[in-house]
Amino acid sequence: MAVALLSIGTELTRGEILNTNAAWLAAELTAAGFTVSESTTVDDDVDHIAAAVRQLASAHRLVIATGGLGPTTDDLTPLAAARATGTDLVRDDSTLLAIRRRVESRGKTMNAGHEKQAEVPSGSEILPNSSGTAPGFGIHLGESTVFFLPGVPREMKSMFTEQVLPRVRPAAPNNTFQVRLRTYGLPESALGELLKGVEEAYPGITLGYRVHYPEVDVKVHAHAATHSMAHELALRATAEVRERLGTAVYGEGDDAFPEMVGRSVRARGWRLAVSESCTGGLISHLLTSYPASDYLVGAAVTYANSAKTRLLGVAEDTLRGHGAVSAEVAAEMAQGVRRLCEVDVGISVTGIAGPTGGTATKPVGLCYWAVSHPGGLVVRDRVFSGDREEVQLGAAYAVLDLLRRIAGNLPER
């Protein structure tokens, strides 16, 4: 069954925020066996929303809309849905009671905005919101069912999983299966070259790529007569893809790169310390976005040369002779933080993140990183392209990937 997505919000049409809801919903619906054939975004205008709802419902049996269910004056989706169906807005007493209980449980007082969230088109099916105040609702428009969910990603995700998916899953053809491989270290073009011929070798397989710097997801999508046949086909093709891509594949599904790096360190029984300059704490943030207290001992952001010397013991002669952005300083930083924190492994990075500070011999984007570990010391360098954020993220991933490979006894690309 083909599904349409409708994203509502002026902040989306103006480009003020990224539309992550549509991407997440498309992935979840695809995994459930649906085909997302259209995705539309409209601003917070009643007529525009109503017209989009009618148009999508006329061409699809299932439409999922997000956004515009909040308490403010620009949250107009319920009114637009009522206009699309030719009904009136009504206040749902059970929803109002649920909102009141949630608001008062937080020590707050109900206001007109909260009461507004209890208004839905007459005849709607209410979808309870376990993560917030605004309920979702479903309506029937011709042969189509349209579900309206909040725009807040956390609320939208829980409502889709708890309320929408159980209602629509029986309508899925249930003859597809998808595996999402997580990769780092190879650009999309190189991945495509390595995977040439896979689709021809496995009829029913379609490969897809999603770039989110500095990673690329490779999606192995199988279509067959039954779900079990699609599952088996996807697994066979995935094995081929893994073999071709080798250690560029670091995980699958919801695996996250920093988390997998942590697993590699943990598996060796190592304790880790981090020293950063140009990344300004980004490496530490990435690692501690997941539980890390059992292996990560400490971190130091030594931006100034004086901090590198006082905290990490980087020699002043090394800084004068080679400069802060050098292989020699990266090595001493890694060794210094390892010594300072009395750990098995110390990692470091130093570089020029830009947009200023580069020279003819040391351009913007030049970074050095090092790993000091029980087996020795490894130092690497690269000139990263992009803006300041991309250089920092690229450098952070590079040192974490080197750590992953050393901990896992994996070859470097």
State how far the Cα of 172 lies from the Cα of 22, in Å rounded to an integer. 19
Give the DSSP letter string of 86-131: T--EEE-HHHHHHHHHHHHHTT----HHHHHTTEEETTPEEE--SS
Domains and CATH numbers, the chain: 2-171 (3.40.980.10), 176-252 (3.30.70.2860), 257-407 (3.90.950.20)
pLDDT at 94 over 90: no
Q: State the pLDDT confidence band at 162, using cuts at 50, 70 and 90.
A: very high
Give the DSSP letter string of 31-43: HTT-EEEEEEEE-
State how far the Cα of 218 lies from the Cα of 183, in Å rounded to an integer. 7
The overall average pLDDT reported for the chain is: 95
pLDDT at 108 over 80: yes
Quote the pTM value: 0.83
| pLDDT over 90 percentage in the chain | 86
Give the pLDDT confidence of 283-311 residue by residue, as tens digits.
999 999 999 999 999 999 999 999 999 99
Terminal Cα distance for the chain, rounded: 42
Give the pLDDT confidence of 316-338 residue by residue, as tens digits.
999 999 999 999 999 999 999 99
State how far the Cα of 323 lies from the Cα of 317, in Å rounded to an integer. 9
> Span 215-235, mean pLDDT?
96
State how far the Cα of 139 lies from the Cα of 147, in Å rounded to an integer. 7
State how far the Cα of 194 lies from the Cα of 186, in Å rounded to an integer. 10
Backbone angles phi, psi at 205, to 5 degrees: -100, 135
Task: Return the amino acid letter for 27.
Answer: A
> Span 44-73, mean pLDDT?
96
